[in-house]
Chain A
Amino acid sequence: MATTTLTPAASAYRTGLYEWLTTTDHKKIGILYIVNSFIFFFIGGLFALGVRTELAQPGLQFVHDELLYNQLFTMHGTVMIFLFIIPMLVGFGNYVAPLQIGAPDMAFPRINALSFWMLPLAGILLLMGFLTGGAAQAGWTSYSPLAQDRPLASTGPGEDLWIMALLLIGTSSILGGINFLVTIFKMRAPGMTMFRMPILVWTVLVTSVLVVMATPVLTSALIMLFIDRNYGGHFFDPGGPNGGGGSAILWQNVFWFYSHPAVYIMVLPAMGMISEILPVFSRKPLFGYKAFVFATAGIGALGFSVWAHHMFTTGQVFLPFFSLMTFLIAVPTGVKMFNWIFTLFRGKLTFSTPLLFALGFLSMFLIGGINGAFSAAVPVDFALQDTYWVVAHLHYVLFGGSVFGVMAGLYYWFPKMTGRMLNETLGKVQFVLMFVGFNLTFFPMHQLGLAGMPRRIADYASDAGWNDLNLAATIGGFTIAASTLPLIWNVFSSLRAGKPAGDDPWEANTLEWATSSPPPPYNFDHLPEIRSERPLFDLRHGRTVVH
C-alpha cells in the first residue's frame, strides 16, 4: 500500500509548465479543470456583481446602457453554467472517479486532455465578444427571434462567438462523457462490481449518459441558429428580413431538450459528492445504497421528458404530460433526500467544513426543489413565468445545490489532491459568509417574483415596492463575493503551510484514500480487496487484506 512518505513514483512526475500543458494524467487534468472553472467562477461572479449593483436602486446608475446590462446577465448565465459548474463537476469526476474504481487513468487519456483544452479556448472566444462590439445579449437561453441578427436584437459578432464557444464546450462535454462511460464500464478494478461502485461514480455515469444523449441536440440547435444568422437560413425565424417560414418555438424545443437534462448534469455529480461526504462525517454507511442508485437512474431517465415545462406559457406544448412528468421527478429526488437524512440520523457527526457545506447543500437544495415543484403546476407557472421567482428557484438549485456541493467536495478532496489540509477556521468563516450572503441574495427574489418583478430588466419603477428587497439582494451578492476571499486565502496559505494530510485524513470508505496524497502516476501500487462499496472500511476493521 502506497504511503505519503514512501512514494518514489511521485518523483516520476515531470515538473513545470510544460508538464501541465501536455499532461494526460487524469489527476492533473482534473486539477486543471477545477482551477480553470474557479477562474471563470470569478469572472462570472463579477458579471453578477455588475447586475446586482445596477439593480440596487431604481434608475440606471451603474451600467447606463440597457444593451450592456443585457450582455452582463447573458454572460453571467453562460459563464456560470458552461464554464464553471459543468466543468467543475467534470473536474472532480476526472480526479476522483478513476481513483474510486481503482483504475490507473481514464480510458482515453489524450482525449481527456483534448476535452479540457477546448474549455479555456471556448471561454476566450466567448469573452472576446466584449472586444468586438458587444457580447451576446439574448440571455443564456438565446431565444429566437431575439438571437437573430437584426436591429435591437443581437447584432454584431458577439452572438456568433457565443454560438461557437458553446459548440466547443458541447464537443468537450460529449468527448468527456464518452470517456467517463468507457472508463466506468471497462476500467474497474477486480472485485469492483457495478453495485460496489461509490455513489459519486454512479452519478458521474448517469450524468455522462445525459451528456452523450442530450448535448448533441444542443449542438444541432446551435448550428441551425448559426445558419439562420449567417447564411440566411429559416429554421427559427418566423418572419422578417429573411422571408421567414421557420418556427421560433422549435428553438425552445431543441434548446430545452438539452438544457433541461443539463440541470441534472449540473446537480447529479454534486449529489454524488454529498453522498460520499455525509457517510464519512456521520460514521455510518449511506442509507439505502441501491435505492440511491435507482433514484439517480430515475432522475436521468425522467430528465428527458420534462423539457417543455420551460415552455408552458407558449401554448404549444401538451401541458398535462409535461406537468405530470415534472412532478414525478420529485419522487426520486425525495428518495435521495430521505436517504441523506437517514444517513445523518443517529450518526456520530463531526462538524468539519465538508459536512457544513454538505448540510448547506441539503437545506438549500430542499428549498430549491420545493419551489421547483410549485412551478411544475401549470397555473402557478403561468403566474410566475419570467419573474424573479424563477431566478430564485434556479439559484437555490444551482448555487444552493451545486456550488455548496462543489465547496464541500473541495474541502473534502483538497487533502488528497495536494497532501495538505485546508484550514478549518477559514473554511467555517467562508461557509457562514456564503450561506448568509446566498440567502440574503436569493430569498428576497421569491418575494420580488411574487410581487411581479420580471427578470432581465435593468431598471424598475421606484414606486413598485421592490426597492428594499433589491437592495437586500445586492448586499447579499457582495457578501457572497466577500466569502470567496477566505477561500482564496485558504487555498494559497494551505498549499504553502497547511497541515500535512496523510493518506486518509477523514477515515473514509473509498479507494482514493488507499493511495498516497497526492497519488503517484497510475494511482495504485496495490489495491485492497474489494468486497463491498466501502473497501477501506472493510480493511480498517480487518475484514479484508491488501494484496
Chain B
Amino acid sequence: MAADTRALTSTGHASVDHSPVGGLAHDARGGISNPILGMILFICSEVMFFSGLFAAYFSVRASYSNWPKISADAGLNEHFNLHAEPFYALGLTIILVISSFTCQMGVWAIRRNDRTGLTRAIGVTLVLGIVFLIGQAYDYATLGFGLSDTPFGTTFYTLTGFHGAHVFGGAVMLSVILYRGLAGQFSSRHHDAVEAVSLYWHFVDVVWIALFSTLYIL
C-alpha cells in the first residue's frame, strides 16, 4: 500500500490524498502522470486546430489564381513576396528553436534536482520567447499589407497571429514556471508542470517551423 500512496502523491492531487478513500490503490501502476497526459492530449487538439488553419491555407491557395509567389505583377503584390526576404523570419525561427533547447535544458536540470539550472534555463527561454513576439510585432508593422488584402493577407495574418497567440500563452506559462521555480516549488520528484509546459513550448516551436516552411519557402 505504501507504493500506492506514493503513486498518488506524485500526481499532486491533494483532494485525492486527503479523501476518505485516499488509501485505495487508484493509479497504482505508475506510468505517465495525469497532468502530462492531459497536456499531451491538449497538444493533440491544438495540432488539429492548426490543421484546420493549414487546410484552409492550402485550399485557398490552390483555388486562388493570383497567389503572390506565382504572380509577376508589380504594385501591391511586391509586398506579398515573402520569398524575396526570408532572412528576417529565419532569424525569428532560429531564436525560437534555440528557446526550445534552453527549455529542455531546464527540464534536464530539474530532473537532476538542479533548481538554479531550472530557473536560469527557463528565464532564458522566456526572454527568447518575448524577443520572438516583439520581432513578429515589428514584422507586422513593416510588411505593408493587411489582413483584408487578398486571401494571402488573410491566411498569413491568421496563421502567424494564432501562432503568436500561442507563443504568448506559452510565455505566460513559462512565467508561472519561473515564479514557482524561484519559490522552490519544484524538485526532481515533483515537477510535472515543468515537463508539461516544456512539451507545450516544443509544440509551439514545431508549429512555427511548419509555418515558416509553408509561408516563406514553399
Q: Decide yes or no: A231 and B148 within 8 Å by CB, A186-B37, A525-B21 being known contacts.
A: yes
Q: Decide yes or no: A217 and B49 within 8 Å by CB, A223-B158, A246-B151 being known contacts.
A: yes
Question: Do B26 and A224 have beta carbons less than 8 Å apart?
Answer: no
Question: Do B151 and A234 have beta carbons less than 8 Å apart?
Answer: yes
Q: 0/1 per residue, B48-61, Cβ < 8 Å to A?
A: 11111101100110
Interface size of A as a range: 35 or more
**Chain B's interface: helix, strand, loop or mixed, by majority?**
helix
Which residues of A200-253 are within 8 A (CB) of B? Answer: 212-221, 223-224, 227-228, 231-235, 242-243, 245-247, 250, 253
State the Cβ distance, B101 to closest chain A Cβ, in Å.
28
Closest A residue to B62 by beta carbon equals A247
Question: Do B52 and A109 have beta carbons less than 8 Å apart?
Answer: no
Question: Do A235 and B24 have beta carbons less than 8 Å apart?
Answer: no
Interface status of A355 (Cβ within 8 A of chain B): no
Question: For the complex, what is the distance from the CA of A235 to the CA of B55, rounded to whole Å?
Answer: 11
Question: Do B45 and A213 have beta carbons less than 8 Å apart?
Answer: yes
State the Cβ distance, A320 to closest chain B Cβ, in Å.
21
Question: Do B59 and A247 have beta carbons less than 8 Å apart?
Answer: yes
Interface status of B19 (Cβ within 8 A of chain A): yes
State the Cβ distance, B42 to closest chain A Cβ, in Å.
6
Question: Do A235 and B56 have beta carbons less than 8 Å apart?
Answer: yes
Contacts of B148 in A (CB 8 A): 231-234, 242-243
Contacts of B66 in A (CB 8 A): 245
Contacts of B21 in A (CB 8 A): 104, 522-525
The segment from A84-92, A174-182, A357-365, A505-513 that touches chain B is A174-182
Interface status of A337 (Cβ within 8 A of chain B): no
Q: Decide yes or no: A190 and B59 within 8 Å by CB, A216-B52, A227-B154, A232-B147 being known contacts.
A: no
Q: Decide yes or no: A104 and B16 within 8 Å by CB, A213-B45, A215-B45, A233-B154 being known contacts.
A: yes
Q: Decide yes or no: A250 and B56 within 8 Å by CB, A186-B27, A231-B147 being known contacts.
A: yes
Among the interface residues A109, A185, A186, A213, which one has the most CB atoms of the partner chain B within 10 A? A186
Q: Decide yes or no: A250 and B162 within 8 Å by CB, A216-B46, A234-B154, A245-B150 being known contacts.
A: no
Q: Decide yes or no: A227 and B147 within 8 Å by CB, A219-B52, A250-B56 being known contacts.
A: yes
Q: Decide yes or no: A213 and B44 within 8 Å by CB, A223-B158, A527-B24 being known contacts.
A: yes
Say which residue of A224, A242, A522 sits within 8 Å of B19 (CB atoms): A522
Contacts of B38 in A (CB 8 A): 107-108, 178-179, 182
Question: Do A178 and B41 have beta carbons less than 8 Å apart?
Answer: yes
State the Cβ distance, B143 to closest chain A Cβ, in Å.
16
Q: Decide yes or no: A189 and B24 within 8 Å by CB, A105-B15, A182-B37, A235-B56 being known contacts.
A: yes
Which residues of B17-53 are within 8 A (CB) of A? Answer: 19-21, 24-28, 31-32, 34, 37-38, 41-42, 44-53
The 3 closest A-B pairs by CB, nearest first: A220-B52, A232-B148, A216-B49
Excluding A235-B158, A254-B56, A527-B24, 10 further A-B contacts by CB distance (< 8 Å) are A104-B16, A107-B38, A185-B37, A189-B24, A213-B45, A217-B51, A234-B60, A246-B154, A250-B60, A257-B52
Q: List 10 A-B contacts (CB under 8 A).
A: A107-B34, A181-B37, A189-B25, A216-B47, A221-B56, A224-B158, A228-B154, A234-B148, A245-B66, A250-B56
A residues with a Cβ closer than 8 A to B are 9, 24, 102-105, 107-109, 174, 177-179, 181-182, 185-190, 212-221, 223-224, 227-228, 231-235, 242-243, 245-247, 250, 253-254, 257, 520-525, 527
